[in-house]
A and B are shown apart, each in its own frame.
Chain A
């Protein structure tokens, strides 16, 4: 069974640009969540989607948005990039959301210059 797949693995963007990251969950998993990891703040929750609906959102500005498609694949978008957005962005999926193990992808490392 394929794991959680994230694309691209690495991304370099300039301040002010926008970026879209993609995530394909494990087959059969309906919940997808996104996390940001930085050396200073650690792992922080961004948002969670279940059956195309956003169920939870973390404490991030509106520049961070996401969506989930009918096939459970998810994308997150960051607009007007800032230097502080440089981070490892991790996508995770679970079968039911909240009551089952969370499985992470390898992440997208975003560098903003």
Chain B
């Protein structure tokens, strides 16, 4: 099956810093989503981005489907950005998402 690799596995930042999280996938996909899981376990959808670039406030994402990777940019990080960021993909138009292992982000004040 399709493999999803996220890097880095852990990231520690000071408040106000910028960061880039990467997601590589092993095969073509038609569904790619980024999620943030907060320390209370809630999983929030950040982007549905099978291709192209999207921005939402301090967050933006880019997916280059032909090269099989996606990037999540976080600018001017805040302590509330802490948590685990997951990339998830699927093929064939299904909701059977395959998740990466996540990037654990810690933002210190």
Chain A positions near chain B (C-beta within 8 angstroms) = 31, 33, 35, 42-45, 48, 50, 55-56, 58, 88, 90, 92, 94, 97-104, 106-107, 109
Contact = CB atoms under 8 A, between A and B. Distances in A.
Interface residues of B, number: 23
B99 A31 contact: no
B41 A94 contact: no
B66 interface: no
B96 A48 contact: yes
Contacts of B96: 33, 45, 48, 56, 58
A44 B41 CA distance: 15
Interface of B: 30-31, 33, 35, 41-45, 48, 86, 88, 90, 92-99, 101-102
Contact of A97 (B33, B95, B101): B95
Contact of B43 (A56, A97, A99, A104): A104
B42 A94 contact: no
27 contacts: A31-B95, A33-B95, A33-B96, A35-B97, A35-B99, A42-B101, A43-B86, A44-B99, A48-B95, A55-B95, A92-B95, A98-B90, A98-B92, A98-B93, A98-B95, A99-B30, A99-B31, A101-B45, A101-B48, A102-B33, A102-B48, A102-B97, A103-B45, A104-B35, A104-B43, A104-B44, A106-B41
